[in-house]
Amino acid sequence: MSLRSAVVVVVAFASLASIKAVLTLDNDGERVLCRYFDPAWMASVKEQRAFEKSLFTKTYRAASDIIMLEGVTCVYKSSVDLFFYVIGAPDENELLLSFALNTYFDALAQMLRNQVEKRVVMENFDVVALALDELVDGGIILEADPAVIVQHVAVRNNDEVPIAEQSISQALQTAKEQLSRSFLK
């Protein structure tokens, strides 16, 4: 390998999108699912909790979807009683961070049948965590298509799950869908 090609490889790795953290907080600012990918940035749980509290305080009533806080770029989105954040370096492309956030949120919406709320997320925590793992690994965005993430996580449709194995909310949702189909005929 020549020196020139080695420099190109190093520059290519340096330009990979790097995410410092992906956070999901509830309406009270408490953790639901948090992954920090840069150990040098937030080394201790105490630092992480302080950052999360500060971030939530600044964003829970804000109308925008991006904020610079403590030297990092944060993009966020809220849904019912959850707040989703993707955090990157201060010089990271905000559109790329926003794209990662929307990909994750859209994958969750598909998997959870548009019920992206704390109760449903907690009931399906395993698939929500797997979806995050499919999106980002070590701070590098791995997948950009929500449908592919859903496919990789291999979430079964509620129609395929016997009623006895469904949660109460899933069973009620299935019954509601069946009733609405029968009334529309």
Long-range contacts of 53-58 (CB under 8 A, 24+ apart): 53/29, 55/23, 55/25, 55/85, 56/25, 56/29, 56/83, 57/29
Using one digit for the tens of pLDDT, what is the confidence trace for 97-108?
A: 999 999 999 999
The pLDDT of residue 146 is above 60: yes
Q: How many residues does the chain have?
A: 185
CB atoms within 10 A of CB 163: 10
> What pTM value is reported for the model?
0.73
Using one digit for the tens of pLDDT, what is the confidence trace for 36-88?
A: 998 888 888 999 999 999 999 998 887 678 889 888 999 999 888 899 999 99
Domains of the chain: 17-154 (3.30.450.60)
Alpha carbon distance 110, 176 (integer Å): 18
**Stretch 25-32: mean pLDDT:** 92
Q: What is residue 82's predicted lDDT score, i.e. its pLDDT?
A: 92
Q: What is residue 17's predicted lDDT score, i.e. its pLDDT?
A: 57
